[in-house]
């Protein structure tokens, strides 16, 4: 259990409330098609997932929908993030605070995870049926399980009934019991409480919602939650099991709910929805590409078709210069080129297009205009961090013939090859390609969530990034931060009686006004077919410096890959940006990657962590072919739960949002959100940017094919 002050509660409520407003505002500004509550939509209850008020329903949201809600009634407030993982499976993460639940704490804050699965969808006569778990890996305070059915009657009425266990059996018990239920509350949370599932007494609940208009819905329910602990504490008067409310759809993506709960108090909720499947600008609003240039007839350009132009004064330097200029206008950089009478090979960098197929399409159009008629084969090799990652072989005749045909026809005649397996003529480096210097300055917001003394702490400032590519594969990179304001440094260092070295729990001590986050030399290479390597030396991240090496094996056509990383690092000084402390460690992992298809991707890392603990991290992501990623991870090591501290083990939720999805024009930028436990020492991994797998995979065959529909854009 963790103490929370009333001031801390206000900070958390304001932050989560702001998050809901921001999510809803984005939806309004960009006209998302995700549905909030309406005559045919899914209502979100006070638990932040499909439900009436306190009771669940068997409904599901549209596949992929993200929902953020904030709800409050009586002494309780709850903020919830819900994701429709598959068409039938949804998951939720909630942060719930209750006033005066114990003598020791002003506000008791609790993190919970919920799952719901619709085992039967609704038919003409049958209801939809779902099974769910609430707080299945938390402290157990809110733990319950249920089986629920929902049926539509006409266009406006939906009726729900269900059976509940745990909290959902504390009222309206049937007098039945399925074994003994252990009601122990785990103070540190994070423990899978499977021994409780569907055990103990069984309660009944039910309700209905009726669409009075297309925007206004009446909600009524018979609750099976008696709020025993809250009633015993006198913070809630459970006078009745009946709850009634009204839900109003402010916008198709934002709904508000008002309710009278348990004959005692009023409740209020607001939910905002966003669906990655529905971009703000369908198809994008970027400028149109150049048209494909058809080759002249042989009689009109006999020299060009013969190939004699190579010896006739029209040399490659002139073509190379014109090609580089045209590519630069499209956000592509020419690295090198080789040219014969029938074949042109182009090494390029893609700095603009998150859909690499679109970069290939734009380059194909440019190439059709840049080379004489005898050049029949184009080989486009994408270079990432100085490494040639993948070669795409496209017949020029196909570009000319298929410009106005479905993109799939072009894919059928396109080949993807590892550059090391492809015969190549000597490449001529483009003028000015190296050295290459890039820099940027942008605002940053660094937040620490779920702190025992304040649910959120944050630093706001400016962050600068420098990159100097000396030669292909060799670069110098640096990141520095200037904090303008914030309170992360007020966070007290976590201590568990020195059970583990303080490798992450001392994060606040690195929250200086000026921070040299990283300063490193990096060498990337593609030394053999399907093999990629990287070595980094320097200040690798804001807490550790040293040397790290990585190797990756990945075939372009395979759904799986294998990698390994090892590093020797030393802990950096708190105040001196170039100094070190006494603690050093050898850390490293063997990693397996798997694309399961249907938008799911997994990663397993096994090895030694920064606190010298051994274990594994499992990550599972739902990926959308427009660049969105929503996933979760969990790390289990040989550190006992009691030594790890609150949360028992490291776990979290991560969301990656492509900026082009919001603005409609191509950009490789993303915005990332990570929700995880407080910084703990167990399961802590080196925070290296630019790891090989993401760099190689994004430009690889599978990713290119997934977004091939943008080839002609």
How big, in percent rounded to 5, are the helix, strand and coil portions of the chain?
Answer: 15, 45, 40
Class of residue 204 by CB neighbours under 10 A (exposed 0-12, middle 13-18, buried 19+): middle
Bridge partners of 670, per DSSP, are 658
Give the span between the Cα atoms of 319 and 366, in whole angstroms: 12
Which stretch of DSSP H or E encloses residue 433? none
- For residue 186, what pLDDT is reported? 56
- For residue 333, what pLDDT is reported? 95
Q: How confident is the model at residue 33 (pLDDT cuts 50, 70, 90)?
A: very low
Q: What is the DSSP letter of 231?
A: H
Of 191, 189, 206, 139, the closest CA to residue 166 belongs to 139
Higher-pLDDT residue of 12, 112: 112
Q: What is the CA radius of gyration of the chain?
A: 29
- For residue 30, what pLDDT is reported? 42
Encode pLDDT of 203-223 as tens digits. Answer: 999 999 999 999 999 999 999
Encode pLDDT of 259-317 as tens digits. Answer: 999 998 999 999 999 999 998 887 778 888 999 999 999 888 888 898 888 876 556 78
Give the span between the Cα atoms of 96 and 188, in whole angstroms: 15
- For residue 17, what pLDDT is reported? 38
Q: In sequence order, what are the residues at sequence separation of 6 or more whose Cβ sits closer than 8 angstroms to the Cβ of residue 125?
A: none
pTM: 0.87
* Tokens representing residue 261 in the block: 């709960």
Torsion over CA: 137, 162, 123, 59 (sign)? negative
Mean pLDDT of the chain: 87
Of 42, 39, 51, 260, the closest CA to residue 160 belongs to 51
- For residue 179, what pLDDT is reported? 82
* Tokens representing residue 301 in the block: 């350009």
* Tokens representing residue 100 in the block: 């005066």
- For residue 387, what pLDDT is reported? 94
Give the span between the Cα atoms of 146 and 56, in whole angstroms: 8
Give the span between the Cα atoms of 638 and 606, in whole angstroms: 12
Which range has the top average pLDDT, 7-16, 69-78, 419-428? 69-78
- For residue 106, what pLDDT is reported? 81
- For residue 246, what pLDDT is reported? 97
- For residue 489, what pLDDT is reported? 65
- For residue 647, what pLDDT is reported? 63
* Statement: residue 344 has pLDDT above 90: yes
- Cis bond leading into 635, ω under 30°? no
Work out the percent of the chain whose per-residue pLDDT is above 90.
Answer: 62
Q: What is the DSSP string of 589-638?
A: EEEEEEEEETTEEEEEEEEE-TTS-EEEEEEEEEE-TTS-EEEEEEEEES
Encode pLDDT of 71-96 as tens digits. Answer: 999 899 999 999 999 999 999 999 88
Give the span between the Cα atoms of 649 and 643, in whole angstroms: 10
Contact 221, 242 (CB under 8 A): yes
Give the span between the Cα atoms of 356 and 378, in whole angstroms: 16
Estimate to the nearest angstrom the gap between the alpha carbon of 382 and the chain centroid. Answer: 25
Q: Which residue shows structure tokens 């380059």?
A: 363
E strand residue ranges, 212-264: 216-222, 242-251, 254-261
Contact 563, 553 (CB under 8 A): yes
- For residue 493, what pLDDT is reported? 59
> What are the φ/ψ torsions at residue 586 (nearest 5 degrees)?
-100, 125
Contact 666, 284 (CB under 8 A): yes
Q: How confident is the model at residue 645 (pLDDT cuts 50, 70, 90)?
A: low
- For residue 368, what pLDDT is reported? 95
- For residue 639, what pLDDT is reported? 87
Class of residue 150 by CB neighbours under 10 A (exposed 0-12, middle 13-18, buried 19+): buried
Encode pLDDT of 492-542 as tens digits. Answer: 655 544 678 989 888 878 888 899 999 999 999 999 999 999 999 999 999
* Statement: residue 187 has pLDDT above 70: no
Three-state SS letters, 489-504 = HHCCCCCCCCCCCCCC
* Tokens representing residue 469 in the block: 């590519």
- For residue 25, what pLDDT is reported? 40
Estimate to the nearest angstrom the gap between the alpha carbon of 62 and the chain centroid. Answer: 18
- For residue 13, what pLDDT is reported? 37
CA distances from 628 to 603, 624, 671 (A): 17, 5, 10
Q: Which residue shows structure tokens 């074949």?
A: 343
- Cis bond leading into 435, ω under 30°? yes
- For residue 108, what pLDDT is reported? 82
Torsion over CA: 560, 636, 192, 61 (sign)? negative
Give the span between the Cα atoms of 257 and 216, in whole angstroms: 10
Work out the percent of the chain whose per-residue pLDDT is above 70.
Answer: 89
- Region for 324 from its dihedrals, namely left if φ exceeds 0, alpha if ψ lies in -120 to 50, beta otherwise: alpha
* Statement: residue 622 has pLDDT above 90: yes
- For residue 594, what pLDDT is reported? 96
Bridge partners of 539, per DSSP, are 519
The mean per-residue pLDDT over the stretch 425-450 comes to: 84
* Statement: residue 670 has pLDDT above 70: yes
- For residue 9, what pLDDT is reported? 34
Torsion over CA: 400, 403, 404, 406 (sign)? positive
Round to the nearest angstrom and report the end-to-end CA distance of the chain: 55
Encode pLDDT of 108-156 as tens digits. Answer: 888 889 999 999 999 999 999 999 999 988 777 889 999 999 999 999 9
Of 547, 713, 558, 702, the closest CA to residue 625 belongs to 702
Pick the range with the lowest mean pLDDT from 165-174, 407-416, 516-525, 677-686.
677-686
> What are the φ/ψ torsions at residue 20 (nearest 5 degrees)?
-65, -45
């Amino acid at each position: 259990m963790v103490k929370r002050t009333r001031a801390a509660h206000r900070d958390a409520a304001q932050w989560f409330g702001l998050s809901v407003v921001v999510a809803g505002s984005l939806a309004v500004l960009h006209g998302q098609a995700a549905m909030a509550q309406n005559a045919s939509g899914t209502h979100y209850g006070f638990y932040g997932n499909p439900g009436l008020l306190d009771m669940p329903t068997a409904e599901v949201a549209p596949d992929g929908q993200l929902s953020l809600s904030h709800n409050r009634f009586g002494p309780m407030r709850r903020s919830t993030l819900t994701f429709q993982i598959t068409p039938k499976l949804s998951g939720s993460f909630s942060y719930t605070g209750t006033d005066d639940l114990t003598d020791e704490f002003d506000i008791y804050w609790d993190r919970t995870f919920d799952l719901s699965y619709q085992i039967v969808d609704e038919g003409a006569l049958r209801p939809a049926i779902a099974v769910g778990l609430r707080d299945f890996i938390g402290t157990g305070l809110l733990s319950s399980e249920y089986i629920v059915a929902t049926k539509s009657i006409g266009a406006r009425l939906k009726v729900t009934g269900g059976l509940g266990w745990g909290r959902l059996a504390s009222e309206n018990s049937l007098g039945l019991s399925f074994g003994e239920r252990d009601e122990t509350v785990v103070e540190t949370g994070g423990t899978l409480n499977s021994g409780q599932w569907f055990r103990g007494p069984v309660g009944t609940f039910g309700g209905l919602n009726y669409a009075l208009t297309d925007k206004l819905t009446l909600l009524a329910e018979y609750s099976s939650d008696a709020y025993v602990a809250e009633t015993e504490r006198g913070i809630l008067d459970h006078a009745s099991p009946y709850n009634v409310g009204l839900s109003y759809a402010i916008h198709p993506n934002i709904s508000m709910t008002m309710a009278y709960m348990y004959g005692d108090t009023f409740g209020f909720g607001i939910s905002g929805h966003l669906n990655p499947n529905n971009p703000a600008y369908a198809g994008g609003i970027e400028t149109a590409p150049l048209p494909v240039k058809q080759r002249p007839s042989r009689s009109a350009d006999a020299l060009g078709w013969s190939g004699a132009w190579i010896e006739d004064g029209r040399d490659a330097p002139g073509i190379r210069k014109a090609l580089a200029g045209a590519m630069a206008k499209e956000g592509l950089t020419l690295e090198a080129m080789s040219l014969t009478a029938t074949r042109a090979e182009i090494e390029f960098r893609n700095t603009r297009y998150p859909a690499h197929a679109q970069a290939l399409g734009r380059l194909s159009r440019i190439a059709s205009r840049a080379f004489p008629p005898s050049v029949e084969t184009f080989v486009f090799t994408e270079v990432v961090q100085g490494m040639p990652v993948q070669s795409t072989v496209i017949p020029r005749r196909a570009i000319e013939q298929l410009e106005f045909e479905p993109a799939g026809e072009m894919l059928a005649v396109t080949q993807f090859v590892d550059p090391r397996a492809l015969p190549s003529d000597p490449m001529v480096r483009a003028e000015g390609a190296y050295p290459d210097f890039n820099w940027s300055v942008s605002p940053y917001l660094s937040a620490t969530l779920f702190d025992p003394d304040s649910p959120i702490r944050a630093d706001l400032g400016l962050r600068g990034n420098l990159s100097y590519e000396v030669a292909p594969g060799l670069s110098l990179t640096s990141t520095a931060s200037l904090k303008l304001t914030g309170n992360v440094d007020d966070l007290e260092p976590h201590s568990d009686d020195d059970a583990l070295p303080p490798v992450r729990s001392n994060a606040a001590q690195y929250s200086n006004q000026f921070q040299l986050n990283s300063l490193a030399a990096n060498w990337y290479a593609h030394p053999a077919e399907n093999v990629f390597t990287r070595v980094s030396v320097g200040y690798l991240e804001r807490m550790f410096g040293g040397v790290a090496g990585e190797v990756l094996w990945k075939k372009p056509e395979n759904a799986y890959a294998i990698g390994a990383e090892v590093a020797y690092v030393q802990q950096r000084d708190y105040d001196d940006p170039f100094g070190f402390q006494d603690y050093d460690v050898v850390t490293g992992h063997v990693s397996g990657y798997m694309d399961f298809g249907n938008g799911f991707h997994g990663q397993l890392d096994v090895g030694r962590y920064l606190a010298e603990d051994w274990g594994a991290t499992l990550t599972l992501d739902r990926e959308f072919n427009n660049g969105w990623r929503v996933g979760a991870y969990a790390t289990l090591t040989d550190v006992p739960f009691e030594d790890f501290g609150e949360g028992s083990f490291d776990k979290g939720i991560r969301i990656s949002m492509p900026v082009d999805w919001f603005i409609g024009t191509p950009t490789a930028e993303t915005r990332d959100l990570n929700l995880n436990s407080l910084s703990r020492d167990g399961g802590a991994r080196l925070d290296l940017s630019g790891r090989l797998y993401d760099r190689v995979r994004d430009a690889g065959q599978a990713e290119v094919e997934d977004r091939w529909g943008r080839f002609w854009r």
